Structure 1
């Protein structure tokens, strides 16, 4: 482990893991509390359309995926609330649209087909200094936003109707959080990959939720579990030369099963 720390790419991966765990821990707690897991899956897979458009247009695929994901998140909110379409139907529509556009754009991209492995399955060792810069900015903004609007976020997360009666800016919080969810998803793609990213913002939260319902404690616990999962995935990815996403999710699943087992045996005693 000491020898690995001498490599710049491993240092970047380590820092990126910690910052991503912070962002996913904060946003994921809101997702689980609001029961937005399916929406998160829709945005995650819709981002594939942005990646494809980026490759086809010759621009940064992460930037195009970011724009496409934010528009998809807002689109789901708008279609489900203003156009009378069921939310699950709206999510399925944007999910399918993103995947279809991504496949078409990638196959129409001139030249050699782009390597999608790092985007689909994640490769923590490919995190660059630029990725760290963006995820650090996101983490700081998230922390500041949650500190300033903690009461509003808490009310919206657990009881939307009650928040409306208190004349809180519910719409502002909802759309801002949807934007944060989309940004967090896209900036975490290199870590876990599109196929497994939904688990990164749900598994740590539901694991901690087994022991406490306190919103702040779930955030802190999720950050800790998420970072341990990322660290384990980082080491295994380097040693076995396998995309990190699968190892990270595997470790998180093991944490959840162990926590569930501890609670089961505690009830039996």
Structure 2
């Protein structure tokens, strides 16, 4: 059993990937918790796709891809806010428009600029290919986000649950929102390297929503989500190593399984642990009995 656990750790890239996924577990838990409470999960999907034009331009110009992705992601969020504030268009419609527009622009730029971006890595991630520089960058991003949340947690909490009330008492809601958008963009860009754009929202939301079913307070949700995210990532890497499977898909699969366990067996929120589940037949069973008769 000990050899089973230690064998993957003999490889440096496996150790790097495990450190990275623990950092991402903390980072995604923080941002994902705020997105879930604000009912803005689709915003994460928009940012994940909106970074493609920035990647294409950064690759063509020869600058750091991370910078291009961040600028593109922030620009998309500002456009969404501008459309919402200057028209009757609802935020979900604005996000859908920006989502498709930025994705199409990214694909066009890749073709026109003849960019050699690895679309497979962009779509599915490559956590086993991270470098030490990637680790340090993610570490500093995670520490910065933790400091930001620690310093402004009361304001963030109030704004998250009552944005109109926060504005009424004079809190700088625009700056708070910009801070949350920046944090979300950084978390998504860092996570894309691990699981890719197609799976990034699962890593962003999965551990946090699992924690949501198990605890009541937002700070508890963040802490438990970080733990679950780290555990999911490490288990996913082990599965990837021994089954020779894609690491990003394995990580997200573990995240999904943990959510299903919480969904079914959570002490207070679980479907199978509710008293009424056993005290009386559910509607589906009654309906089937009527059909049979």
Same fold, TM exceeding 0.5? yes
Tell me, what secondary structure is at the counterpart of 1:220?
helix
> Residue 284 of structure 2 corresponds to which residue in structure 1?
none
1: distance between equivalents of 2:184 and 2:120? Answer: 23
Choose from 27, 35, 38 the match for 1:31: 35
TM-score using structure 1 length:
0.93
1:62 matched to 2:32? The reply is: no
1:250 matched to 2:253? The reply is: yes
> Residue 272 of structure 2 corresponds to which residue in structure 1?
265
> Residue 137 of structure 2 corresponds to which residue in structure 1?
134
1:91 matched to 2:90? The reply is: no
> Residue 156 of structure 1 corresponds to which residue in structure 2?
159
Q: Is the 8 A contact 1:156 1:170 kept in 2?
A: yes
Q: How do 1:1-269 residues align onto structure 2 when only pairs under 5 Å count?
A: 1-110=5-114, 113-262=116-265, 263-267=270-274, 268=277
Structure with the greater alpha carbon radius of gyration: 2
Tell me, what secondary structure is at the counterpart of 2:51?
helix
TM-score using structure 2 length:
0.86
How far residue 61 of structure 1 moved from its aligned partner, in angstroms, is 2.6
Tell me, what secondary structure is at the counterpart of 1:167?
coil
Deviations 1:72-118 (A, max 9, x none): 1222122212344321222122211221122122223448x432222
How far residue 165 of structure 1 moved from its aligned partner, in angstroms, is 2.4
Tell me, what secondary structure is at the counterpart of 1:85?
coil
Deviations 1:177-201 (A, max 9, x none): 1011111111111111101111111
How far residue 43 of structure 1 moved from its aligned partner, in angstroms, is 0.9
**How many correspondences in the alignment?**
268
> Residue 289 of structure 2 corresponds to which residue in structure 1?
none
How far residue 157 of structure 1 moved from its aligned partner, in angstroms, is 0.9
2: distance between equivalents of 1:69 and 1:53? Answer: 13
Q: Where does structure 2 lack aligned partners over 5 or more consecutive residues?
A: 279-293
Q: Where does structure 1 lack aligned partners over 5 or more consecutive residues?
A: none
Q: Is the 8 A contact 1:73 1:179 kept in 2?
A: no
Tell me, what secondary structure is at the counterpart of 2:6?
coil
Tell me: CA distance 1:101–1:239, structure 2 relative to 1, closer, same or farther (3 Å).
Answer: farther
Tell me: CA distance 1:55–1:238, structure 2 relative to 1, closer, same or farther (3 Å).
Answer: farther
